[in-house]
């Protein structure tokens, strides 16, 4: 009953399932087609996505089951499939997210050994023509910046508040992932990359872009570089016809929340991180 979602029809069914479960954050087929993880579809009305992640030793896992299909073992079967896939990836655990008001899912996860961790903040900003600016020392990322930006990624990811340690992927995978991003800028000191910020398109909400990592080397923090990087992204979004920017961070990431608040992002509480070792059944 579980098969690889490797056809357009199967991807379409996964999109329908996702949007039925989370209509506030809709996705499109292109979002799933470009995803680098594995999608497994359950004919009973659910799917699981399992992927490499920045959480050390853990596979990112998203299980989605239509509301009317719950209580029939679909989620449990998909969780078993996720466990098997994570083992194939040489991972020691799973991690994912659950919404705080989804009591049924939280109880389901707790019964299967998942522990809750930090809670996210969702930040949304409306974009108008002419918003943002590209300051001196901020430039669009080019191939010549890749090594320096990766060094920023390696230094900054472990500093992000998280329930589990974070680490960068190997350079080749990071380079392939960054190639699919838009509105990506670097902060330069001479020719040296001292910060970078990335965004990606969201096919389910084509007027919206999502921020990824905004990172600045420890030696260069407190100089307003994160703000300048985001202002450049805001200008890029405005110039290219986008009308919303969304980003997520943990409630404990006070420094980045201050940057976002100063730039006009409105906060709402978001999902809670959950994790489980594979030997916790």
pLDDT 10s digits, 228-273: 999 999 999 999 999 999 999 989 988 889 999 999 999 999 999 9
| Residue 58 lies inside a defined structural domain of this protein | yes
Q: Which domain holds residue 191?
A: 124-271
| Residue 141 lies inside a defined structural domain of this protein | yes
Total-model pTM: 0.83
Q: Judge whether residue 38 has pLDDT over 80.
A: yes
* Domain match, 151 and 262 both: yes
- H or E element: which one contains 186? strand 182-189
pLDDT tens for each residue of 131-153: 999 999 999 999 999 999 999 99
* pLDDT at residue 187, as a whole number: 98
* pLDDT at residue 161, as a whole number: 80
| Residue 113 lies inside a defined structural domain of this protein | no
Q: Judge whether residue 180 has pLDDT over 90.
A: no
Q: How many domains does the chain have?
A: 2
| Residue 100 lies inside a defined structural domain of this protein | no
* Domain match, 9 and 137 both: no
Dist CA 207 CA 173 (whole Å):
28
* Domain match, 151 and 235 both: yes
CATH code of the domain covering residue 169: 3.40.630.30
Q: Judge whether residue 279 has pLDDT over 80.
A: no
CA distances from 38 to 45, 50, 196, 200, 273 (A): 17, 5, 28, 19, 20
């Amino acid at each position: 009953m579980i098969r690889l979602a490797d056809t357009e029809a199967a991807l379409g069914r996964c999109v329908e399932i996702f949007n039925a479960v989370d209509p506030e954050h809709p996705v499109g087929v292109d979002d799933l087609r470009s995803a680098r993880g594995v999608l497994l579809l359950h004919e009973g009305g659910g799917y699981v996505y399992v992927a490499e992640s920045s959480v050390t030793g853990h596979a990112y896992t998203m299980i989605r089951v239509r509301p009317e299909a719950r209580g029939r073992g679909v989620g449990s079967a998909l969780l078993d499939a996720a466990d098997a896939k994570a083992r194939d990836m040489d991972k020691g655990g799973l991690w994912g997210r659950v919404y705080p008001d989804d009591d049924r899912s939280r109880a389901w996860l707790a019964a299967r050994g998942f522990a809750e961790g930090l809670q996210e903040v969702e930040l949304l900003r409306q974009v108008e023509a002419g918003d943002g600016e590209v300051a001196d020392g901020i430039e669009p990322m080019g191939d010549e910046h890749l090594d320096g930006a990766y060094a920023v990624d390696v230094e900054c990811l472990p500093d992000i508040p998280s329930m589990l340690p974070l680490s960068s992927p190997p350079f080749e995978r990071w380079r392939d992932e960054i190639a699919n991003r838009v509105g990506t800028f670097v902060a330069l000191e001479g020719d040296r990359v001292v910060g970078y910020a990335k965004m990606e398109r969201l096919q389910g909400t084509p007027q919206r872009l999502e921020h990824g990592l905004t990172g600045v080397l420890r030696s260069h923090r407190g100089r307003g570089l994160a703000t300048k990087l985001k202002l450049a992204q805001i200008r890029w979004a405005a110039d290219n016809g986008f009308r919303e920017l969304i980003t997520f961070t943990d409630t404990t990431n006070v420094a980045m929340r201050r940057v976002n608040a100063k730039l006009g992002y409105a906060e709402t509480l978001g999902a809670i991180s959950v994790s489980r070792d594979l030997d916790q059944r």
